[in-house]
């Protein structure tokens, strides 16, 4: 727990203070901060029970061989006379050390590296397209233009549709037999595409869906950022004879830095963890080749023979990747002099 020197040095203002002896550090902190702590206690308890405990349990499970068939500690059988008799399960899950991790990373079990590549392609292309399209639209909407309000409302529509509904809508559009996408292709003289029977076309449908539903968030966040850039800067740049492109590169982009840093980080994490789109649009077709890590872990845990331990190890690997990413990203920003 990080103790801020400023707060420790602050004179205690709380009511009950023993006058006889100089209060200890902890006691002093308690009298100063008791109400703040009281206010955060409910949340801390909830997080402890619902997040910390499952997390620790998840870490523990990832080192065992827990699955559907060995999850019972005891096997109970009905005996004559109505009672039940329980004996320890001889096949109960046991500690297997790093076996799950080794099996995953060597590709001995599951398709970790395939899903890893899918996840990278998926995240990078979605975030890049979100940001580029969102920025383009934000710049356009930031101008005085007739009908700006209407454009804004129409462009925000994909955000208003629940994600799983969007997923079904696009799956309908990419339906192989007479879906709208294929009808459009045939109407301009191209062959219809069997979207879900090839890895990259299948992943493409999911990326299209996700780009469609994620652009409005970027657009609105960046529009907010654009509007906070002082018009004086643009005037000054214009007086110095800067071209529109130079103004964009030297005024707009630097002015957007704080917002961009936040939305790119958030967008990357959200997309990386985006479950429903892949799960509902491609369903992993063909044959699990478009699964990303998150959906892969889910299917390992809840489809077929349920491999709880295997899925937990997956989860830990995913989390550690995200933590590494977030730390690296933050480092990179602070090296560039960002106070985030």
Interaction with other proteins in 280-299: which residues (CB under 8 A)? 280, 283, 293-294, 297-298
Contact 195/205 with Cβ under 8 angstroms?
yes
Nearer to other proteins, 59 or 121 (CB): 59
Name residues contacting other proteins, limited to 64-103 (CB under 8 A). Answer: 71
Cis check for the bond before 99: say yes or no (omega within 30 of 0).
Answer: no
Which of 24, 68, 86, 172 is in the footprint of other proteins by CB under 8 A? 172
Round to whole Å and give the CA distance between 243 and 241: 6
Which residues, including other chains, have CB under 8 Å from residue 102's CB and lie 6 or more apart? 108
Phi and psi for 84 in degrees, rounded to 5?
A: -120, 150
Nearer to other proteins, 79 or 211 (CB): 211
Q: Does 272 bind other proteins (CB under 8 A)?
A: yes
Task: Choose the stretch contacting other proteins; rule: CB under 8 A; options: 86-94, 124-132, 198-206, 230-238.
Answer: 230-238
Q: Does 33 bind other proteins (CB under 8 A)?
A: yes
Tallying the residues shown for the chain, one arrives at 340
- Return the biggest CA–CA distance within the chain: 97
Q: Does 118 bind other proteins (CB under 8 A)?
A: no
| Closest-CA residue to 166 (of 217, 103, 120, 200) | 217
* Tokens, residue 33: 């901060």
Residue 21 CB, nearest approach to other proteins (Å): 22
| Closest-CA residue to 122 (of 264, 247, 293) | 293
Which residue, chain included where needed, has tokens 């727990």?
1
Task: Choose the stretch contacting other proteins; rule: CB under 8 A; options: 55-63, 79-87, 88-96, 109-117.
Answer: 55-63
Residue 87 CB, nearest approach to other proteins (Å): 20
Nearer to other proteins, 79 or 247 (CB): 247
Site string for other proteins, 235-254 (x = CB under 8 A): ---x----------------
Nearer to other proteins, 5 or 22 (CB): 5
- The SS3 assignment for 166 reads helix
Task: Choose the stretch contacting other proteins; rule: CB under 8 A; options: 79-87, 91-99, 108-116, 216-224.
Answer: 216-224
Q: Does 302 bind other proteins (CB under 8 A)?
A: yes
Residue 284 CB, nearest approach to other proteins (Å): 11
Contact 79/85 with Cβ under 8 angstroms?
yes
Nearer to other proteins, 158 or 203 (CB): 158
**Number of residues located near other proteins, criterion CB under 8 A:** 115
Q: Does 156 bind other proteins (CB under 8 A)?
A: yes
Name residues contacting other proteins, limited to 3-22 (CB under 8 A). Answer: 3-4, 6-8
Phi and psi for 295 in degrees, rounded to 5?
A: -70, -35
Q: Does 143 bind other proteins (CB under 8 A)?
A: yes
Nearer to other proteins, 203 or 314 (CB): 314
Residue 278 CB, nearest approach to other proteins (Å): 11
Contact 297/314 with Cβ under 8 angstroms?
yes
Which residues, including other chains, have CB under 8 Å from residue 299's CB and lie 6 or more apart? 284, 288, 291
Round to whole Å and give the CA distance between 153 and 201: 31
Nearer to other proteins, 125 or 142 (CB): 142
Which of 91, 106, 197, 227 is in the footprint of other proteins by CB under 8 A? 227
Contact 85/77 with Cβ under 8 angstroms?
yes
């Amino acid at each position: 727990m990080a103790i801020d020197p400023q707060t420790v040095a602050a004179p205690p203002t709380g009511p009950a203070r023993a006058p006889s002896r100089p209060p200890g550090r902890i006691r002093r902190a308690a009298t100063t901060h008791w109400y703040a702590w009281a206010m955060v206690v409910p949340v801390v308890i909830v997080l402890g029970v619902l997040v910390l405990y499952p997390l620790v349990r998840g870490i523990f499970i990832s080192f065992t061989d827990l699955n559907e068939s060995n999850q019972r500690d005891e096997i109970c059988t009905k005996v004559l006379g109505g009672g039940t008799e329980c004996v320890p399960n001889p096949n109960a899950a046991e500690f297997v050390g790093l076996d799950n991790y080794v099996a995953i990373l060597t590709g001995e079990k599951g398709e970790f590296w395939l899903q890893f590549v899918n996840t990278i392609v998926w995240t990078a292309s979605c975030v890049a397209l979100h940001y580029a399209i969102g920025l383009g639209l934000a710049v356009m909407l930031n101008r005085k233009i007739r009908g700006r309000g209407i454009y804004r409302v129409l462009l925000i529509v994909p955000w208003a549709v629940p994600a799983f509904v969007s997923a079904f809508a696009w799956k309908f559009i990419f339906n192989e037999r007479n879906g709208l996408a294929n009808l459009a292709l045939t109407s301009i003289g191209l062959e219809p595409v069997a979207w879900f029977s090839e890895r990259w076309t299948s992943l493409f449908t999911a990326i299209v869906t996700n780009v469609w539903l994620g652009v409005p968030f970027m657009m609105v966040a960046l529009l907010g950022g654009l509007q906070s850039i002082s018009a004086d800067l643009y005037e000054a740049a214009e007086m110095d004879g800067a071209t529109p492109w130079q103004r964009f590169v030297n005024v707009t982009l630097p002015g957007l830095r704080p917002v961009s840093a936040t939305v790119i980080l958030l967008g990357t994490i959200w997309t990386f963890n985006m479950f429903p789109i892949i799960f509902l649009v491609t369903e992993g077709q063909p044959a699990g080749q478009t699964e990303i890590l998150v959906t892969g872990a889910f299917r390992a845990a809840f489809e077929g023979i349920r491999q709880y331990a295997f899925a937990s190890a997956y989860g830990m690997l995913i989390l550690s990747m995200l933590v590494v990413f977030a730390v690296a990203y933050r480092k990179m920003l602070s090296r560039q002099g960002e106070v985030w």
